[in-house]
Amino acid sequence: MTEAYRKYLDPAVISRLKGIDVKARLVVEGFVTGLHRGPYKGFSVEFAEHRQYMPGDPIRHIDWKVYGKTDRFYIKEYEEETNLRAYIILDASGSMGYKSDGISKLEYGCYLAASLAYLMLKQQDSVGLLTFDTKIRKYIPPRSVGRHLHAILKELTGIAPAEETDLGMSLYELAQRVRRRGLIIVISDLLDDEDKVVRGLKLFRHRKHEVIVFHVLDPYEVSFPFENEVILRDMETGEEVPAVPWDIRREYRSQVSSWISRYRSVLRQSGIDYVPINTETTFDVALFSYLEKRQRMG
């Protein structure tokens, strides 16, 4: 049963399912089942239940009283008690609609946002959603009630890529709007002016937010695997440029690599978690990153 859920971490599998709520649930279930030895469960203060000790569990969580009574090791699990406010900011610009094979970046972002929302709400955190393209398209304020998930999922279900983007400006506006400190989760391909994007993200940090950026790219954007001569059409501007892919691939990949490296370096210096992923990356990578961030935040 455990392994059966693991498959739902695969975006290709998830994309075949119907209903984003189901997708989110299965992703999180799949993720959680892999956490039985991990450090990310049980950091709440309110006791929930006991479970049998498994090798790898922290020894400090062993309930010695139960051991004294039963001569067996049991681990104490707690209900989380939190006041975390998380904002999931999803880029719905035109470039996010790109998909080479499998699912688009926006779809991947939706599944990831839904899974994060599901996970956070399950952990009693407050979670809100902002979608934007050239401007803020939708804002769902954070809440921690269970039915809030429905509102988020509904918004994610109907989302479609816009034609253009202005990520820098949108982030700036969002930073102005989100005043209460919390966790800012940005899901975007960051295809905009690099400086403006970084300035927008730094503004969140300036306002004391914790920021984690999921930089979603398509595998083709990374590897540029086209073989024959093609005409490349910009999805946002419609500009067409003839290209000989195999002739420019090396340089292209070098530039993309530098671009990612620059983001990683600049954002790290600003205390922003930067997670580059592509649409074939299993969701647990992003969820682990979130949990790590969550843990660091206490």
Site residues for another protein per CB under 8 A: 95-96, 98, 105, 189, 191, 217-219, 221-223, 226, 228-237, 239-244, 246-257, 259-260, 276-278, 281
User: Looking at beta carbons only, is 120 or 217 nearer to another protein?
Assistant: 217
User: Looking at beta carbons only, is 97 or 141 nearer to another protein?
Assistant: 97
Burial 39-55 (b: 16+ CB within 10 A, else e): ebbbbeeeeeeeeebee
Q: How far is the CB of 242 from another protein (least distance, A)?
A: 5
Q: How far is the CB of 165 from another protein (least distance, A)?
A: 9
Spatial CA neighbour of 208 closest among 179, 172, 237, 165: 179
User: Looking at beta carbons only, is 133 or 210 nearer to another protein?
Assistant: 133
CB atoms within 10 A of CB 141: 16
Q: How far is the CB of 243 from another protein (least distance, A)?
A: 5
User: Looking at beta carbons only, is 1 or 231 nearer to another protein?
Assistant: 231
Q: How far is the C-alpha of 247 from the C-alpha of 200, rounded, in Å?
A: 35
Spatial CA neighbour of 297 closest among 89, 31, 85: 85
Block residue for tokens 């299965």: 26
Block residue for tokens 């940090």: 205
Q: Is the dihedral of CA 269, 177, 218, 3 positive or negative?
A: positive
First to last CA, the chain: 31
Q: How far is the CB of 256 from another protein (least distance, A)?
A: 6
User: Looking at beta carbons only, is 96 or 121 nearer to another protein?
Assistant: 96
Q: How far is the CB of 63 from another protein (least distance, A)?
A: 41
Spatial CA neighbour of 181 closest among 297, 82, 85, 293: 85
Q: How far is the CB of 127 from another protein (least distance, A)?
A: 27
User: Looking at beta carbons only, is 236 or 284 nearer to another protein?
Assistant: 236
